[in-house]
Amino acid sequence: MTKTVIETVSLGKVHFSNFLRKRFQALDELSLTINSGETFGLLGLNGAGKTTTLKLLLGLIRPTSGQIEVLGHTPGDVRALARIGFLPESPYFYTYLSAQEFLDFSGRLFALNDKERHDRAKELLELVGLTDAAKRPIGKFSKGMMQRLGIAQSLLNDPELIFWDEPTSGLDPIGRRDVRTILHKLKERGKTVFFNSHLLPDVSEVCDRIGILNRGKLIFQGQVSEITRGGSYLKLEDFFLSTIQEAEANYKSANSQEARGTKN
């Protein structure tokens, strides 16, 4: 029986700018269902609402309208958070700590015992290719190394559900390949992964399904295999661009008609 891990119904979020005194619809009527063991990629141009969606699912911000359920709980519930791993787009670290010390500190937050913290840190540093830098201060890490450490931290509690916001940001081609390898391993273990990315070759290779956001609206969701028959990521790229262009044309047409109606 398929288990639902994430469900949103008519989810909306309005931001208000104090400086401009304007309301901005960041997310509009988003309805999604993510099942256990799925790898789901949320795509869209900058400002489409991808990071807002992640923050809502994690309980970091509250919705203006709609409903959300994550792992059977409302977002932010500690019973769900204990089973979640999260990598933000720009992770922050205590730069004076070493990678090993940071993972040990993070393990304490999950109430892991000494042996668990030691073993998990060693395993994850090897997984992300940071074993040789384990005792180096994080302040001396490159952006790519910090991203690798962020991925390790997000897996520290062996989570059921993993949220990654641009996981391959700042990584070189080898780093991107390593992330894809990690995603495949997580899939083999039955983990559920929800991530945002602009790198369509990576999405094409690892995702089961995708959703495309444009101006806060979900304009497509479906199986990657249906789009990329023949194994070419260019098919996904072409599909993504044509879908966005069509949505933008419809948006401009609707606005033009509304403007003419107002004048009349």
Superfamily of domain 4-83+159-263: P-loop containing nucleotide triphosphate hydrolases (3.40.50.300)
Instruction: For 235-253, write each residue's pLDDT tens digit.
Output: 888 899 999 999 989 888 8
Check pLDDT > 70 for residue 263: no
- Cα Rg for the chain, rounded, in angstroms? 20
Residue 7's pLDDT is 95
Domain ranges (residues) in the chain = 4-83+159-263
CA atoms within 13 A on the CB side of 207: 28
Give the three-state DSSP class for 21. coil
Enumerate helices (H) and strands (E) in the chain, giving the number of each: 9, 9
Question: How many Å is the maximal CA-CA distance in the chain?
Answer: 73
* Mean pLDDT of all residues in 164-189: 87
pLDDT band at 75 (very low <50, low <70, confident <90, very high): very high
Alpha helices, H only, 142-232: 143-154, 173-188, 200-206, 224-227
Residue 73's pLDDT is 93
Distance of alpha carbon 45 from alpha carbon 255, whole angstroms: 20
* Mean pLDDT of all residues in 40-67: 92
Write the CB contacts of 131 (distance below 8 Å, at least 6 apart in sequence): 122, 125
Q: What is the mean pLDDT of the chain?
A: 89
